[in-house]
Amino acid sequence: MFKQLLTVFYRNALRSKGTFVIYTIGFSTALTSVILIYLWIADELSFDQYHTPQLYQAMYHQPTDHGIQTSGQTPTFLAQALKADIPEVAMATVATPPHFLPEFTLSTRGQHVKGIVKFASEDFFNMFSYPLVAGAPGQVLKEKYSVVISQHLAKTLFGNNPTPIGETFSYSLLSIQQDVIVAGVFQDLPANSSEQFDLVLPFAQFQEIVKPGPPNWTRPEPFSTYVLLKDNSNLDVVNQKLSTYIQSKDNAATSILFLKQYSDNYLYGQYTNGKPDGGRINYVIMFGIIALCIVTVASINFINLSTARATQRVKQIGIKKTVGASRTSLTVQQLGETIFLTLLSLAAALLLVKWILPNFNVITQKHLTLAPTYRFVLSLMAITFTTGILAGIYPALYLSGIDPVKALKGKAIGPSAGNMVRQGLVVFQFTASIIFIIAVIIIYKQIAFVQSKDLGYQKNNLLYFDIDGALVEKTDAFLTEVKRFPGVVQASGMLGYLTGEATGISGSFTHRGKTITCQSLQVSFDMIETLGLKVKEGRSFLRQQDAGQTNNRWILNEAAVDAMGEEHVVGKVIDGKEVIGVVKNFHVQSLHEMIKPMALALVPNQSLTLWVRMLPGKEEQTIDYLQKLYTTYNPGFTFRYHFIDQVYARQYASEQRISLLSKYFAGLAIIISCLGLLGLAVFTLETRKKEISIRKVLGSSGQEVMLLLLNGFTRPVFMAIVLALPVSYLLARAWLNTFAYTAPLSAWYFAIGGLLPLAITWITVGSVAITAIRTNPVQHLRHD
């Protein structure tokens, strides 16, 4: 049976080479897209899944004037309190959150390297599934001056010693310098870990550095609390207990505590007014739908082309049925041919994926491979056979149901046979294509809007770098020399960064009985001028007037003034600090979030980063000068700098990758749809060739025949436009709502999305129709 099916498939492929090539191109292109999307989705779904499902993060719902804000920022003492008070909690740990700290300088044996640091309390390695290659999970963070390092860092610092237990090195940050002893080595974190770090230090060290005050349940602190629940614990019961837990500690507290599974953070990290609102899972769903649409469009192509070829096979089927072939056997034969075709296309698709995957990894910033795992092979077979059955079932039933008498007379296929189905399939194809086109346009426009929006500060020609080594004690002298260089406009220092999670210090102040959550950005003199912030009221920090007033004077942004409900605050004392100025709002978070209240505090001697604004056109000379000057102050240290506009752009790397991927997959869907149009055009001309010939004999011009043919294809595309436009608008609005600031939705986006497929339809059908119009009508009428 198998040999017979294979023989029939081979003969039909030889008989219709052009159609077979179209089949293969359509299916292999679709399967290539689906395999790439599958690999991407599988990788996204795998993030943090290797941790135990009993691992949770403590989260807060905080009521504010603008709705409920959800955050994972918790105080340092919460972990121990939960372990003591909640019976279901087996272990708890407090840690610094991802991206909270700048890279530390690690020094040993005359070398200086950078490392991403995490501080965590004692049970961290007991709770998280980060395997240790040396050391005991419950012991490595017990001693205050111990450290646990990655395998990669162990090799960098200690060469050929893979388990350097007992070895020492020092870390430094600003004036902080500490020798630590290696107590453990953990395996390098996998690529599907949402957090990446090089070394873990005991949280006791961090507390020694920052010297936290007494517990305050109403004051937010920027730390993460993780708990491990006991087996068989009911999360709903635990969250019910936690809903009033904070209030039981302090009646003045308004926040609500709850636990969220740690492995859900990566995909489900977005909240709106206290309710889960997706996150990266939205992109997973979107690309899953795109994959389904691409497979469906390719299957539609096969259906259209198969029915177009029916006129060539109708007598063959009629003979088979006359000699006793059952409808079941004919259906199996047709489905078998389709599955053979999809398997052949799968082989071509795998070769294409292997060729494309390195570039695909560059675009997605992933490390995807074609590993023949059990799950991958099983999924691939399921996708292939489902595609084959989806594409082949209608043609199989359609052809096997032909009346043998009419088939042998050549009358089994008529102009209206299956026409409604094919028209509906074309409508579906182009509805999907129009939605893809509009989505690509809107994503591109939003990213362009984000990149060009006025942020309230001047991000061009502005770089920053971390302070290291001897530079910590000589910052003022260094800045003085920097400002003398002709290519430098202004320079200053800041405690932290201007973008990302480590922007400012979370806190709050009370004004007229109202608690206002406010971030504090600690800056040095000339920072406002270096950033190019606009002073709306009052003045900037001045050396002559503010020297000696460290952390006693504030400059607020407009959002902070609005939150206070004041019009003029300059000269007032807020939370023990005098307000000397107000600056216009500027963005430090991404445009996904509204601008929040912020206070700029003068702290000139605690800068972590130095910022330099350069003259346009003098960037190269200025960077060379900075590098030489930095090396002079810091022999043996590497000068590493970052342009703020590039760092800002990386905040939207996810959207940029989605935009690029959407563009490629939308282009593939349109190409495959064009193949479907080609199939339908061939079918229409095949069934109407005698009608066209008669019209030409009776005097119809080529233009009239062309308009007649185009009219039949224009109607389903118009129907697709009518269906696609409202769906596109709703999807676009839903995606744009994830941004606090959005580009306007122009009617031109939807007009282009509708007119482009219409133009493609006319070009595709017109190119086929021209051949039919130029054909001598005698060739089609000679048998009648």
Torsion of CA 252, 255, 259, 262, to 10 degrees: -130
70, 59 contact by CB (below 8 A) = yes
- How confident is the model over 508-554, as pLDDT tens digits? 677 777 777 788 888 889 999 999 999 998 899 888 887 777 777 88
485 pLDDT higher than 90: yes
The string of DSSP letters for 408-472 reads HHT-S--TTTTHHHHHHHHHHHHHHHHHHHHHHHHHHHHHHHHHHS--SS--TTEEEEE--GGGG
Render pLDDT for 95-131 as a digit per residue (tens, 0 to 9): 999 888 888 889 887 788 889 999 999 999 999 999 9
Confidence of residue 781 (pLDDT cuts 50, 70, 90): low
DSSP 643-654: EHHHHHHHTTHH
pLDDT at residue 587, rounded to an integer? 83
* Matching residue, tokens 């043919």: 709
Please give the residue that has the higher pLDDT: either 133 or 567: 133
Amino acid 231 reads D
pLDDT at 279 over 70: yes
Which alpha helices (H) appear in 47-115, and where do they start and end?
Answer: 78-85
Q: What does the pLDDT average to over 173-178?
A: 78
Judge whether 102 and 608 are in contact, CB under 8 Å: yes
SS3 call for 489: strand
pLDDT of residue 415: 44
Other Cβ atoms less than 10 A from the Cβ of 718: the count is 15
Q: Are 392 and 335 in contact (CB under 8 A)?
A: yes
**Of residues 708 and 128, more confidently modeled:** 128
87 pLDDT above the threshold of 90: yes
Q: 72-81, 515-524, 593-602: which has the highest mean pLDDT?
A: 72-81
Q: Indicate the residue type of 281.
A: I
Q: For position 182, what pLDDT does the model report? A: 94
Non-local CB neighbours of 598 within 8 Å, separated by 6+ positions: 504, 518, 519, 520, 521, 556, 557, 559, 560, 588
pLDDT grade, residue 507 (50/70/90)? low
pLDDT > 70: percent of the chain: 82
- Which of 614, 617, 644, 616 minimizes the C-alpha distance to 626? 614
Residue 768 has pLDDT above 60, yes or no: yes
Q: How confident is the model at residue 199 (pLDDT cuts 50, 70, 90)?
A: very high
Average pLDDT over the chain, rounded to whole?
A: 81
C-alpha distances in angstroms, 56 versus 152, 224, 230? Answer: 28, 11, 11
Read off the pLDDT of residues 415-454 as tens digits, 9 standing for 90 and up: 444 566 667 777 887 888 888 888 888 888 887 887 778 8
Indicate whether 564 pLDDT > 90: no
- Taking residues 157-184, report their average pLDDT: 87
Q: Which of 226-240, 548-562, 605-619 has the lowest mean pLDDT?
A: 548-562
Residue 681 confidence (pLDDT) above 90: no
Read off the pLDDT of residues 710-731 as tens digits, 9 standing for 90 and up: 777 788 888 888 998 999 999 8
pTM of the model: 0.79
CB-based contacts of 196: which residues, under 8 Å, 6+ apart? Answer: 116, 189
Q: What is the pLDDT of residue 683?
A: 63
What's residue 607's pLDDT? 80
d(CA 212, CA 202): 15
Split at pLDDT 50, 70, 90, the class of 242 is: very high
DSSP annotation of 262: G
* pLDDT value of residue 10: 54
The better pLDDT of the pair 236, 607 is held by 236
Annotate 585-650 with DSSP letters as a single string.
----S-TTS----EEEEE-TT--SEEEEEE-TT-HHHHHHHHHHHHHHHSTT----EEEHHHHHHH
The token pair that represents 766 in the structure block: 């017109």
CA atoms within 13 A on the CB side of 40: 28
Confidence of residue 411 (pLDDT cuts 50, 70, 90): low
pLDDT, residue 306, reads 67
199: region left, alpha or beta (phi > 0 left; psi from -120 to 50 alpha): beta
The pLDDT of 472-495, averaged and rounded, is 90
Are 226 and 57 a contacting pair, CB within 8 Å?
yes
Would the pLDDT of 351 be above 70? yes
- Strand segments, DSSP code E, in 101-243 are 104-108, 111-115, 117-120, 132-134, 146-150, 168-173, 176-186, 199-202, 224-229
Q: What is the pLDDT of residue 755?
A: 86
